[in-house]
């Protein structure tokens, strides 16, 4: 999946005009930069509801994160994240999935934030709200596939799969693969027999 850059805006007003003129699937925005602000996110969401957004800022404080999520941001990465991780964030966001880099996930966990309470536009998978992509990864983890194998199956990078895994563990409140497997079984995402007799587990 190729990423095409439509343009670059130097202010909130210029960004709104570019969206009206050219449109976009995803915008990457530092709403803490000069010429932009948190209110701009809500304006974009109101005027262009089909446009998803990736926040990219130097700040990972809990309050800034909460403000961004409440204003309609889809995904969140830090400016010092690797280029591949930022590209992965854009690609996943273009599909309607949420993406949080590892540093942001740590903020969510440390501040005990409930992302779903701040934004309900995520896929409902039983009691825990997670994306369709995360459900797919949960099933593959439960079936015994490694990060590399999952990446190959879903046409993702191993780094993206690892980030999804961290995100899943944070949302489910589990510390290891066994916890993910138990969730998959309890919520009928996978049959217990299918897990027990995968290739890696057959004697």
Q: Identify whether residues 138 and 95 lie together within a single domain.
A: no
Which of 24-28, 53-57, 98-102, 135-139 is predicted least confidently? 98-102
DSSP string, 90-115: HHHHHTT---B-HHHHHHHHHTT--H
Q: Who contacts 64 (Cβ-Cβ below 8 Å, separation ≥6)? A: 32, 57
What average pLDDT does the segment 40-65 reach?
88
**Pair (137, 116) in one structural domain:** no
- Higher-confidence residue of 108 and 146: namely 146
Report the pLDDT averaged over residues 121-146.
72
pLDDT digits (tens, 9 = 90+) for 55-110: 998 877 877 887 888 788 888 898 988 888 888 889 888 988 888 887 777 777 66
Residue 156 in contact with residue 148, Cβ under 8 Å?
Answer: no
- Within-domain flag for 2: no
pLDDT for 157 equals: 92
Per-residue pLDDT band at 159 (split at 50, 70, 90)? very high
Same domain for 115 and 16: yes
82 and 158 in a common domain: no
In a domain, 76, yes or no: yes
pLDDT average, residue stretch 155-164: 92
CATH number of the domain to which 187 belongs: 1.10.10.10
pLDDT, position 31: 85
Higher pLDDT, 175 or 87: 87
Final residue of a structural domain among 64, 90, 122? 122
How far is 83 from 111, CA to CA, in rounded Å?
A: 26
In a domain, 30, yes or no: yes
Considering 94, 122, 150, which residue would you say is the last residue of a domain?
Answer: 122
Same domain (yes/no): 42, 112: yes
From 88, 122, 156, give the residue that closes a domain: 122
The domain containing residue 169 runs over which residues? 132-194
Average pLDDT, the chain: 80
Residues 45 and 145 in one domain: no
Residues 115 and 27 in one domain: yes
Evaluate whether residue 3 is within a structural domain: no
- Does 109 reside within a domain? yes
The count of domains in the chain is 2
């Amino acid at each position: 999946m190729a990423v095409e850059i439509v343009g670059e805006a130097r202010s909130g007003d210029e960004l709104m005009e570019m969206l009206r003129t050219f449109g976009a699937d995803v915008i990457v925005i530092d709403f803490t930069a000069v010429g932009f602000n948190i209110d701009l996110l809500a304006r974009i969401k109101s005027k262009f509801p089909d446009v998803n957004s990736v926040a990219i800022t130097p700040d990972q404080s809990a309050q800034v994160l909460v403000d961004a999520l409440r204003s309609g941001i889809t995904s969140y990465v830090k400016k010092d994240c690797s280029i591949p991780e930022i590209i992965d964030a854009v690609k996943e966001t273009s599909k309607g999935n949420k993406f949080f880099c590892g540093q942001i996930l740590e903020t969510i966990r440390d501040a005990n934030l409930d992302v779903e309470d701040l934004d309900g536009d995520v896929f409902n998978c039983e009691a825990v709200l997670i994306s369709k992509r995360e459900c797919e990864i949960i099933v593959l983890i439960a079936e015994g596939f490694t990060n590399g194998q999952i990446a190959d199956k879903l046409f993702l990078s191993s780094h993206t799969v690892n980030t999804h895994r961290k995100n899943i563990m944070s949302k489910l409140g589990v510390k290891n693969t066994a916890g993910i497997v138990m969730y998959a079984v309890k919520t009928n995402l996978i049959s217990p027999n299918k897990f027990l007799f995968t290739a890696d587990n057959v004697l």
